[in-house]
Amino acid sequence: MRLLWRLIKTSVDKNKAAQIEKKLRQGNVNASYTAESPLRVLIGGILSQRTRDVNSEKALSQLFSQAHTIYGILALDQKELENLIKCSGFYRQKAAFIRGTCKAIVELHKGKVPSTRSELMSLPGVGPKTADLVLSYGFMKPAIAVDVHIYRVARRIGYTPIVASHEQVKSAIEACHPQKSLQFMDAALLSLGKNICKNSKPKCEECPIKDECDYVEISED
């Protein structure tokens, strides 16, 4: 016996989504939601690419201990910037993205982090996930930022078929829940993926929404 995914079409509608949200609110999922500065979320999103959370968080802390404004970051020489974020991996590329993003914000947005998804995604090194993180945590706008954890959880629950893009997962979750619930759902699904619905050895018996899930034990015999 092992855990496999049912080959299903989307199974979550608005009624089932409401039950999922209710059980998540009643369960033991940590869905704390703290606003941060848009710049910190933006740089953190760039640093988080292709690395573990602990590495990106350490790099972000080191960088912001030396420079916590756009102009402060631009004042760092390239080698200093690279050394501060080295622990995040791919540090030369990320340093180029960070410098390019800060420069674009100064030149195109009068030194302020833009607050629309399209403008954010036009910045160097900024993709859909980072843009949605900035909107959600930086500007407190309702958005689902689909990272590896939310991507896995949402498909297991059945918001989309197993084969789906990150954008399809985002659209499906946002279509099933009212806007006022999106910040909670973003934080709750992220926490669920990190702590319970893990990639390997998920803790299904501890999951508050196990009865709503399409990730089940199937015999291989």
Beta bridge partners of 3: 217
Q: For this structure, is 201 an active site residue? A: no
CA 70 to chain CA mean position, Å? 23
Instruction: Select which of 94, 132, 147, 186 is catalytic.
Output: 147
Count of CA atoms in the C-beta half-sphere (13 A) of 131: 17
According to DSSP, residue 5 is labeled: E
Cβ atoms of residues 111 and 70 within 8 Å: yes
Q: For this structure, is 211 an active site residue? A: no
CA trace torsion 152, 155, 161, 167 (10° rounding) = -70
Cβ atoms of residues 131 and 120 within 8 Å: yes
Instruction: Select which of 22, 23, 58, 129 is catalytic.
Output: 129
What residues act catalytically?
129, 147
